[in-house]
Amino acid sequence: MYPVMNQSEHDNLKTFQRLDQTASYPHKLSDYIKRFAWQWVQRLLIRPSPRRAHGWRRWWLCRFGAKIHPTSGTKATTVIWHPWLLTMDRYSMLSEGVEVYNLGPVTIGEHTVVSQDVYLCGGSHDYTEPNLPLQKLPIEIGAGVWLCAGAFIGPGVKVGNNSVVAARSVVVKDVPPGMVVGGNPAKVIKPRPMKS
């Protein structure tokens, strides 16, 4: 239960947050130009591409600076904000509806599945400062990981090798290797059974 303020306490409350002081353009001009061009490529050339046209999408992503192994891919409805900040190792896949909000670098290890509607959020704001400066934080997804449908992976999070993140989980802290995590916020449920 949140404490309730009476009217005089509310009237005397000083506003800490100052949105009039936030940066109007927190990115470099070159990033805005690249982002504008990339948005049009996504809309006109990626979005209407056939389901299995992984090579076509990979080619465009690499033209914009992504480092994607030739055995990895994305789907037509995958949204990537900054391809030049994306690295994918071999045999990994970003599924339908995945959004990679990569203000910071996003690295995905080999043999990793990012299931439909997962949101990788590599940006936030420092709420301890009144002007809420933009934070561009990395996300590292290990090898052999399965991010199940609709999971949210927060800024600065590392997901260890061979881990599973359950559907609709909200991950705001690092995930140890070889674990199954789930919930909001996500907690370790059990070690991942790995039958050989």
d(CA 30, CA 166) in angstroms, rounded, equals 38
The sign of the CA dihedral 40, 121, 189, 191 is: positive
* Residue 117: HSE in the Cβ half-sphere, 13 Å Cα cutoff: 8
SS3 143: coil
Q: What is the DSSP letter of 124?
A: E
Q: Give the active site residue among 27, 69, 111, 125.
A: 125
d(CA 17, CA 114) in angstroms, rounded, equals 36
Task: Count other C-beta atoms under 10 Å from residue 66's C-beta.
Answer: 22
Q: 71: which residues sit within 8 A by CB, 6+ positions away? A: 90, 91
Tell me if residue 10 is catalytic: no
Catalytic residues: 125
